[in-house]
Amino acid sequence: MTDVDALPTPAVVVDLDVLERNVARMQERASRSGVKLRPHAKTHKSPEVARLQRSAGASGLTLAKTSEAEVFADLGFDDIFLAYPVVGDDKARRLLKLADRVRLAVGVDSLDGARSLGGAFARAGRTLSVRLEIDPGFHRSGVLPEDTVALARAVADVPGLELSAIFTHAGQGYAAPTPEEVARVGAEEARLAVETAEALRAAGLPIAEVSVGSTPTAVAAMSGAGVTECRPGTYVFNDRSQVALGSAAPEDCALTVIATVVSAPAADRAVVDAGSKTLSSDASRPTADGYGLVVGRQTRIARVSEEHGVLAVAPGERFRVGERVRLLPNHACAVVNLHDALVAVRGGRVEGRLTVAARGRVQ
């Protein structure tokens, strides 16, 4: 077995002990709340991690894109929810094939989108399970609360579709300035989701699942009475933003990047061989402040270009060319999508690879 110190850099490494602990802990939290855990596999895109989640008790997987579902179906995962407003007859035809071998549900947030999915299923005499996305204040996709009942009725009437669930994603939690505020966002998300489900039931729609999601808001949202499912993703690896948001401690970060200092031309500046092609250029949350931390040092990555991470060297610190450093990236999901495989490590020794099987599947 290779020592982690012998890996060529940059290397994206995952500490298996931390990963396993993270997977077990979130599952325990969900089980304690009586909520099904359906992790968002976008974070890892990896069959090895998805199997860990399934063994721990996950009820199924969440993904966003049809092509991601195809990858995980090929890998033997048979219960998938696409938490995304999938649109288009070409996608519907692919979903129809997927539904032969997978227990499938798909997000909708518009009547036009719903109709574009229903056609292929109706023509085949089949039914696609759809879940209505409700906007809990993030203002990305999702129907506005005031339009929900009318849209739900219309979607339920689309031939080929069956509406039996709603889902929310309170991404505004990533902008909340304190852990208390993050928890408040999660609690409010749960309240809105449950209230919406009750309004739909009162309108005669059989809403069986109330699904909420995101790692920072998960604990607060799962504890809302009436919530039945939660879809966090990042908790498996965690990252600098999760630590800043209070949803993980530094020792809960399973994914780091080992890099080499390749340039140190001035006392206040050094360059590592990991730039945006390794770390992504995603901003840190809740406050944008560079592109990652150097673990065990005060120095942070102030700028990235594709292959350069420029360290703003903190006073009293020094980096020498050839030195290896460990970086904590801002956003683990974005890092994973840049690499074909992650290096699996336990106790400083390489144990194998985690395959990023669904990397780059955007369609």
Q: Which residues bind a copy of itself (CB under 8 A)?
A: 8-11, 42, 64-65, 84-88, 90-91, 109-110, 112-113, 116, 135, 139-144, 147, 171, 260-266, 269, 271, 273-274, 276-278, 280-283, 303, 305-308, 310, 320-322, 333-334, 337-340, 360, 362-363
CB nearer to a copy of itself: pick between 171 and 216: 171
CB nearer to a copy of itself: pick between 77 and 291: 291
CB nearer to a copy of itself: pick between 133 and 188: 133
- Shortest CB 360 distance to a copy of itself, Å: 6
- State the residue for tokens 């945006």: 276
Name residues whose C-beta falls within 8 Å of residue 362's C-beta, 6 or more positions apart in sequence.
65, 67
CB nearer to a copy of itself: pick between 51 and 65: 65
CB nearer to a copy of itself: pick between 37 and 356: 356
Q: What does residue 304 show for φ and ψ, rounded to 5 degrees?
A: -130, 140
Reported for 305-308, long-range contacts at CB under 8 A and 24+ positions apart, including other chains, are 305/275, 305/276, 306/275, 306/276, 306/277, 307/273, 307/275, 307/277, 307/278, 308/271, 308/272, 308/273, 308/275
- Shortest CB 333 distance to a copy of itself, Å: 6
- Shortest CB 33 distance to a copy of itself, Å: 26
- Shortest CB 278 distance to a copy of itself, Å: 5
In angstroms, rounded to a whole number, what is the distance separating the alpha carbons of residues 354 and 13?
9
User: Helices marked H in the chain — which ranges?
Assistant: 16-33, 47-56, 66-74, 89-98, 111-123, 148-156, 179-202, 218-222, 240-245, 276-279, 332-336
CB nearer to a copy of itself: pick between 27 and 276: 276
Reported for 181-184, long-range contacts at CB under 8 A and 24+ positions apart, including other chains, are 182/216, 182/217, 182/220, 182/245, 182/246, 182/247, 183/217, 183/219, 183/220, 184/220
- Shortest CB 95 distance to a copy of itself, Å: 13
CB nearer to a copy of itself: pick between 27 and 280: 280
- Shortest CB 225 distance to a copy of itself, Å: 27
CB nearer to a copy of itself: pick between 109 and 252: 109
Structure tokens at 247: 């949803």
Nearest to 164 by CA among 116, 122, 132, 199: 132
CA distances from 204 to 37, 165, 199, 271 (A): 27, 13, 9, 61
- Shortest CB 305 distance to a copy of itself, Å: 7
Nearest to 173 by CA among 109, 230, 220, 231: 220
- Shortest CB 216 distance to a copy of itself, Å: 14
